[in-house]
Amino acid sequence: MSEKFHGELKGLKQDTTEMGRFARDMLSESVRALILQDPVMAKQVVAKKKHIKDITITLEDRTYTLIALYQPMAKDMRVITCILKMITAAERIGRYGKDIANMVKHLQDQPDFTQPVPLPHMAEQVMGMIDDVIVAFETENLEVIKDFSSRDDIVDALWHSIFREMLTFMMENPKTITRGTYSIMVARYLERSGDHACKMAENVHYMVTGERIEIK
Amino acid sequence: MTPGPIISTHDLNLWYSDTHALQSISMKISKNHVTALIGPSGCGKSTLLRCFNRLNDLIDCVKISGEILLDNENIQSAGTDVVMLRKKVGMVFQKPNPFPKSVYENVAYGPRVHGVKDKAELDKIVEESLRHAAIWDEVKDRLNDSALGLSGGQQQRLCIARTLAVEPEVILMDEPCSALDPIATAKIEKLIDILKRDYTVIIVTHNMQQAARVSDYTGFMYLGKLIEFGQTNQIFENPHEDLTENYITGRFG
């Protein structure tokens, strides 16, 4: 019984890891499509929406089944609850990728307007956090998430920087308002994704140690 | 507010001949709380439970050292009145064991042994005990029927009523639900939750979900040792000892 349960739990954890990477790729590809102004790539990201929704339901159902059949406790219980929260966060991140990809076609029709300068760097920071928290979840190595608080501060600072930069452009030239607003939304989605990575890190920490931490 | 301990053990050791069955157990049982003892078969949890009302005295080869304090008095001392001790510390066993008498006589037996003769008083004790054990409505019209005609779950609640009739302070339960179906089990679990308002309950169970559901404190035992003792939610959510973790997640035992 126990071996069967632990085998299934291990498989579920592995599949959740893969879902996390799938969502991460949706986000990174959407930003890439935006920077390159590539509508084909953007369309491919949007098409992945159905898949991420399907995996969410499948993985959640598998989790509920394990809880109902085995009533896990202690570390097993913490792994299961962490999986549920990882699934939710990953789905959100994937959907932000879809939302950003959807903006690419709108931005194409707008007057020429440079991307916010810090955007690629901000995206890189957020992707790094998502990558690391997935590794921490997979390997239970907490070293890779220990500096998340300061990394999130950087992401927040970049978000404020982009916000102010865009406001300046929009005040100077109202024709840039549509595009500027979209750019602010992109930066906001990235900032939210960084927050999701922090929440995931808190949950992974609880999963591994049983102790609660707060990443501010 | 956490009430003080009603029972505490200090460096309690027990040997069955050469077998060291309980090894240096020190623990405190909180008054008006439910304490569960869990652990694999043979780890000493029933032996420990039976120390609390000196049932192990009935086994010839048993030797005990250390202290067991009930209301700050050492029950191991030579001057302890074992009959009074077992009145204070009642017990319910794995298999319901009603006497082959009527429902009424089962409950009235204890008070009679302790000197209650007045019929009206006995009637009152019987009704209160049966009500307290949540079985009154089911048996009030068949008090003179044989207790052996009751269902397993009813018999077990009758045994609890029988224990309550002598007004104990502590109720020991050794796997009280393992012979019962899930519905009867749920009734006993609900009853345990009610009983702790007036009594202190110590329960031994193999069913970890049951321990998690009914108890406030849980002790995990392994090979005669108390490995970990703490609040039930801590033990089941975040045990500090690897052995506890491995046991409750089904990795051994």
For residues B65 and A58, give the distance between their C-alpha atoms in angstroms, rounded to a whole number: 57
Q: Look at residue B1 and tell me whether its pLDDT is greater than 60.
A: no
DSSP symbols for B91-119: EE-SS----SSBHHHHHHHHHHHTT---H
Q: For residue B5, what are the β-bridge partners?
A: B30
- The distance of B239 to chain A (nearest Cα, Å) reads 7
Model confidence band, residue A209 (pLDDT cutoffs 50, 70, 90): very high
pLDDT at A193: 98
What value does the mean pLDDT take over residues B89-114?
95
Give, as one character, the DSSP assignment of residue B146.
Answer: B
Secondary structure of residue B188 in the 3-state scheme: helix
Tell whether A98 is covered by a domain.
Answer: yes
Interface contact A210-B244, CB threshold 8 A: no
Q: Look at residue A13 and tell me whether its pLDDT is greater than 90.
A: yes
Q: Look at residue B68 and tell me whether its pLDDT is greater than 70.
A: yes
Which of chain B's residues have a Cβ under 8 Å away from the Cβ of A210?
A: 237-238
For A5, nearest residue in chain B (alpha carbons): B250
What value does the mean pLDDT take over residues A75-92?
97
Contacts with A38 (C-beta within 8 Å, 6 or more apart), sequence order: A32, A104
Tell whether A216 is covered by a domain.
Answer: no
For A212, nearest residue in chain B (alpha carbons): B238
Please enumerate residues of B whose Cβ is less than 8 A from a Cβ of A: 208-209, 212, 236-239, 244-245, 248-251
Tell whether A39 is covered by a domain.
Answer: yes
pLDDT at B53: 94
Q: How many domains does chain A have?
A: 1
pLDDT at A113: 61
pLDDT at A21: 98
Secondary structure of residue B64 in the 3-state scheme: strand
pLDDT at A216: 85
For A1, nearest residue in chain B (alpha carbons): B250
For residues B89 and B97, give the distance between their C-alpha atoms in angstroms, rounded to a whole number: 17
Interface contact B212-A73, CB threshold 8 A: yes
Q: Look at residue A126 and tell me whether its pLDDT is greater than 70.
A: yes
DSSP symbols for B210-253: HHHHH-SEEEEEETTEEEEEEEHHHHHHS-SSHHHHHHHTTS--
- The CATH number of whichever domain residue A169 belongs to comes to 1.20.58.220
Determine which of A67, A70, A73 to mutate to test the interface with B (most B C-beta atoms within 10 Å): A73
pLDDT at B58: 87
- ipTM of this predicted complex? 0.72
pLDDT at A115: 77
Give, as one character, the DSSP assignment of residue B78.
Answer: T
What value does the mean pLDDT take over residues B139-154?
95
The percentage of chain B sitting over the pLDDT mark of 70, rounded to a whole number, equals 98
pLDDT at A175: 86
Q: Look at residue B123 and tell me whether its pLDDT is greater than 60.
A: yes
Interface contact A74-B212, CB threshold 8 A: no
Determine how β-strand B34-38 pairs with β-strand B200-204: parallel
Lowest mean pLDDT among A101-115, B131-145, B178-192: A101-115
A68 and chain B in contact, CB less than 8 A: no
* Closest Cβ–Cβ partner in A1, A5, A74 for B245: A74
pLDDT at B253: 61
Q: Look at residue A1 and tell me whether its pLDDT is greater than 70.
A: no
pLDDT at A140: 97
For A79, nearest residue in chain B (alpha carbons): B237
Q: Are B108 and B144 in contact (CB under 8 A)?
A: no
pLDDT at A179: 87
For B209, nearest residue in chain A (alpha carbons): A71
Sign of CA dihedral B76, B82, B84, B85: positive
- The distance of B28 to chain A (nearest Cα, Å) reads 23
- The distance of A140 to chain B (nearest Cα, Å) reads 16
What value does the mean pLDDT take over residues A51-55?
97
Model confidence band, residue B2 (pLDDT cutoffs 50, 70, 90): low
Q: Of B237, B229, B110, nearest to B163 (Cα)? A: B110
Pairs from A46-50 (Cβ < 8 Å, separation ≥ 24): A46/A98, A46/A101, A46/A102, A48/A22, A48/A94, A48/A97, A48/A98, A49/A94, A49/A95, A49/A98
Domain that holds residue A50: 3-209
Model confidence band, residue B49 (pLDDT cutoffs 50, 70, 90): very high
CB contacts under 8 A, A 115-154 vs B, are none
Q: Is the pTM of this model over 0.90?
A: no
Q: Provide the mean pLDDT of chain A.
A: 94
- The distance of A68 to chain B (nearest Cα, Å) reads 12
pLDDT at B3: 64
For residues A24 and A27, give the distance between their C-alpha atoms in angstroms, rounded to a whole number: 5
Q: For A127-186, how does the pLDDT look when each residue is reduced to its tens digit (9 = 90+)?
A: 999 999 999 999 999 999 999 999 999 999 999 999 999 999 899 988 888 889 999 999
Q: Are A114 and A35 in contact (CB under 8 A)?
A: no
Tell whether A215 is covered by a domain.
Answer: no
- The residue whose two tokens read 């070293």 is A143
pLDDT at B195: 93
pLDDT at A111: 63
What value does the mean pLDDT take over residues B20-32?
97
Which of chain A's residues have a Cβ under 8 Å away from the Cβ of B208?
A: 73
Higher pLDDT, A116 or B174: B174
How many residues does this entry show for chain B?
A: 253
Which of chain A's residues have a Cβ under 8 Å away from the Cβ of B245?
A: 74-75
* Closest Cβ–Cβ partner in A2, A71, A211 for B209: A71
